[in-house]
């Protein structure tokens, strides 16, 4: 059990969090440990769709030994706070892949926080995060990558894109690189945008209703994140949960707010 | 009765007036061409009729098939039978052409109180229209216009027109970016889809060459936001020969 005091927003990893919600479940349980042995392959999934108003915090500590491969698929959509963190350490030639999506509305706070340490040479990591945020939701991705001094030929990438459906929603995306080796590739791209107005008019000009057009564009935006889930049933479970959440978001404002 | 009746239409983009009292009437069964110099307002006319946000109508009226067109949302205009062929078709990554068109067509059908087409019926229709425009069905499985050449985008516009089967097509520089062979294919597509007694076409173009394949019944010259001259197909040839400046100047005194 954690004996630490409840964190504050002054701590970088908690900067955008919902501290009140965290305090309500403090102390947090021990993180889930995942160990991938030498040359082994592992695939993990988390569909975080906790009930409305609840608090869901999932912490993972992942160690991937030399030549190992760990792929994690994450859909983060539930609770008033949905926070998923990863502390990953990669051995020689090991790989970590995180494919995640966050979809939030209302006053939800959703977070994906990663810290990937390339401790040995030749390791690779790939993180692809897509967020769709409406109403007053806050979606944050904080991604730290550390490359140890002798971890040459490290290849790390982060691709983070967020789509804001309302001016009142917030997306935070913060990559942080600490590189002590000199022969590495670290690529990161962040983009926060809105639905493409030209595309929306083009679709309307063909007769598509605004809501249908928006839904197609949003589906396209998160499409591909779950392509790598090997089990067909799991993949469909993730995709239909994402679609259901998108549909719920598309119907936001039906009760008398702004239209689509 | 005219299918489209534009009376004294004025509009503005921001605070810049573009159309300044444009009138034009198109009957079913007719093909009209609008030609004119750059900046005359040709594309603005197309976008305004399509209802593009930001193209604010400041005066005049537009009646389409008995309805007040300006009262309708863009998707309602499409369901009412208006098709807008884009000069620069928009790319939509992640959405396949087939998905895009099926959703569009079925939304239109729903708005008209018709039943949705089944997957099989839709694919048969799409195959037929793609064949008409010599567009590979494989292209229709790809994301909308992504990675398409200029000519493929324009052919794709015409495939969309064929599938959606509008009453009136407003084609904004559908001929731009086409080589001679593609121009022939597109011209043939327009004729076979739209040259029918209950349909009409408004071609917006800079050049005579598309009109060699799609013979207009009427040609209009648009300059400085209004129609300054109308005539038969011979007017297009005169423009090609003499240039716009000549005619715009001759008519300019009355503008």
Q: What percent of chain A has pLDDT over 90?
A: 88
Mark which residues 22-61 of B lie under 8 Å from A by CB.
50-53
Rg over alpha carbons for chain B, rounded to the nearest Å, is 18
Band of residue A253 on the pLDDT scale cut at 50, 70, 90: low
In whole angstroms, give the CA distance from residue B83 to residue B4. 13
Contact call for residues A210 and B75 (beta carbons, < 8 A): yes
Asked if B92 and A199 come within 8 Å (Cβ–Cβ), the reply is: yes
| Residues forming beta bridges with residue A192, ordered by sequence position | A162
Q: Which residue in the set B89, B94, B103 is minimally distant from A208, CB to CB?
A: B103
- Stretch A164-173: mean pLDDT, rounded? 95
In whole angstroms, give the CA distance from residue B75 to residue B58. 21
Contact call for residues A246 and A196 (beta carbons, < 8 A): no
User: Which tens digit of pLDDT belongs to each residue from A92-104?
Assistant: 999 999 999 999 9
Tell me, yes or no, if A193 comes closer than 8 A to chain B by beta carbon.
no
Chain B environment of A210 (Cβ under 8 Å): 73, 75
Q: Which residue in the set B50, B75, B143 is minimally distant from A208, CB to CB?
A: B75
Chain B environment of A206 (Cβ under 8 Å): 78, 100-101, 104, 160, 164
Question: Collapsing DSSP states into helix, strand and coil, what is residue A87?
Answer: strand
Of all residues in chain B, the one with the smallest CA distance to A216 is B95
Chain B environment of A202 (Cβ under 8 Å): 86, 89-90, 92
Asked if A217 and B51 come within 8 Å (Cβ–Cβ), the reply is: no
Contact call for residues B204 and B196 (beta carbons, < 8 A): no
Task: Pick the range with the lowest mean pLDDT from A48-57, B33-42, B119-128.
Answer: B33-42
- Stretch A216-226: mean pLDDT, rounded? 90
How many domains does chain B divide into?
1
Smallest Cα–Cα separation from B127: which of B105, B84, B98?
A: B98
Q: At what angle do helices A210-222 and A232-250 cross, to 10 degrees?
A: 140
Interface mutation vs chain B, best among A191, A206, A260, most B CBs within 10 Å = A206
- Give the Å distances, CA to CA, from B166 to B81, B101, B110, B151, B200: 4, 13, 15, 22, 9
* Neighbouring C-beta atoms of residue B33, cutoff 10 Å: 25
In whole angstroms, give the CA distance from residue B34 to residue B205. 6
Token pair for B72: 């309708």
User: Which tens digit of pLDDT belongs to each residue from A10-41?
Assistant: 999 999 999 999 999 999 999 999 999 999 99
Q: Tell me the whole-structure pTM to 2 decimals.
A: 0.85
Provide the CATH number for the domain around residue B184.
3.40.50.300
- Give the Å distances, CA to CA, from B63 to A205, B5, B102: 18, 5, 28
Q: Which residue in the set B53, B94, B164 is minimally distant from A206, CB to CB?
A: B164
Token pair for B246: 């000549």
Smallest Cα–Cα separation from B72: which of A96, A204, A95?
A: A204
Asked if A202 and B86 come within 8 Å (Cβ–Cβ), the reply is: yes
In whole angstroms, give the CA distance from residue A133 to residue A139. 7
Domain of residue B108, residue span: 2-252
In whole angstroms, give the CA distance from residue B211 to residue A223. 43
Chain B environment of A212 (Cβ under 8 Å): 103, 107
Token pair for A134: 């409406």
Smallest Cα–Cα separation from B215: which of B235, B191, B239?
A: B191
> Strand B143-144 to strand B92-96: parallel, antiparallel, or no bridges (unpaired)?
antiparallel
Interface mutation vs chain B, best among A132, A195, A202, most B CBs within 10 Å = A202
Asked if A202 and B90 come within 8 Å (Cβ–Cβ), the reply is: yes
Q: Which residue in the set A199, A220, A224 is minimally distant from B90, CB to CB?
A: A199
The length of chain A, given as a count of residues: 260
Of all residues in chain B, the one with the smallest CA distance to A207 is B75
User: Which tens digit of pLDDT belongs to each residue from B156-191?
Assistant: 999 999 999 999 999 999 998 899 999 999 999 999
In whole angstroms, give the CA distance from residue B119 to residue A187. 42
Asked whether residue A170 carries a pLDDT value surpassing 60, the answer given is: yes
Kindly report the average pLDDT of chain B as a whole number: 94
């Amino acid at each position: 059990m954690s004996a630490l005091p409840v964190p504050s927003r002054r701590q970088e990893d908690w900067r955008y969090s919902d501290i009140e919600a965290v305090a309500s479940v403090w102390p947090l349980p021990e993180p889930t440990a995942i160990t991938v042995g030498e040359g082994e392959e592992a695939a993990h999934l988390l569909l975080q769709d906790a009930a409305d108003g609840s608090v869901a915090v999932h912490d993972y500590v992942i160690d991937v030994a030399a030549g190992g491969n760990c792929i994690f698929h994450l859909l983060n959509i539930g609770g008033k706070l949905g926070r998923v963190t990863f502390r990953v350490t990669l051995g020689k030639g090991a790989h970590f892949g995180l494919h995640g999506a966050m979809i939030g509305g209302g006053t939800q706070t959703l977070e994906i926080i990663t810290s990937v340490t390339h401790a040995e040479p030749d390791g690779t990591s790939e993180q692809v995060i897509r967020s769709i945020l409406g109403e007053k939701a806050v979606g944050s991705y904080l991604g730290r990558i550390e490359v140890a001094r002798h971890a040459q030929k490290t290849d790390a990438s982060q691709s983070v894109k967020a789509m804001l459906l309302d001016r009142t929603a917030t997306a935070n995306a913060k990559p942080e690189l600490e590189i002590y080796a000199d022969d590495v590739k670290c690529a990161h791209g962040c983009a926060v945008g809105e639905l493409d107005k030209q595309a929306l008019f083009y679709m309307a000009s063909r007769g598509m209703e605004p809501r249908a057009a928006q839904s197609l564009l949003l589906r396209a935006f998160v499409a591909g994140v779950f392509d790598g889930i090997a089990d067909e049933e799991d993949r469909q479970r993730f995709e239909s949960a994402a679609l259901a959440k998108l549909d719920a978001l598309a119907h936001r404002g039906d009760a008398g707010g702004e239209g689509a | 009765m005219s299918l489209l009746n534009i009376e004294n239409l004025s509009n503005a983009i921001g605070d810049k007036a573009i159309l300044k009292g444009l009138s034009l009437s198109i009957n079913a069964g007719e093909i009209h061409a609008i030609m004119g110099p750059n900046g005359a307002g040709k594309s603005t006319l197309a976008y305004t009729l399509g209802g593009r946000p930001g193209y604010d109508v400041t005066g005049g009226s537009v009646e389409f098939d008995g309805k007040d067109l300006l009262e309708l949302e863009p998707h309602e205009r499409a369901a009412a039978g208006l098709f807008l062929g884009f000069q620069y078709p928009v790319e939509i990554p992640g959405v396949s052409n087939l998905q895009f068109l099926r959703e569009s067509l079925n939304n239109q059908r729903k708005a008209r109180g018709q039943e949705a087409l089944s997957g099989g019926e839709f694919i048969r229709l799409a195959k037929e229209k793609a064949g008409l425009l010599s567009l590979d069905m494989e292209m229709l499985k790809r994301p909308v216009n992504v990675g398409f050449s200029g000519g493929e985008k324009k052919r794709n516009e015409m495939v969309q027109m064929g599938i959606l089967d509008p009453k009136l097509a407003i084609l904004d520089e559908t001929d731009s970016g086409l080589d001679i062979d593609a121009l022939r294919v597109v011209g043939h597509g327009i004729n076979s889809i739209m040259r029918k007694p209950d349909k009409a076409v408004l071609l917006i173009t800079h050049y005579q060459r598309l009109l060699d394949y799609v013979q207009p019944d009427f040609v209009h010259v648009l300059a400085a936001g209004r129609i300054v001259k109308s005539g038969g197909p011979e007017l297009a040839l005169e423009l090609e020969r003499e240039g716009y400046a000549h005619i715009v100047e001759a008519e300019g005194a009355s503008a």
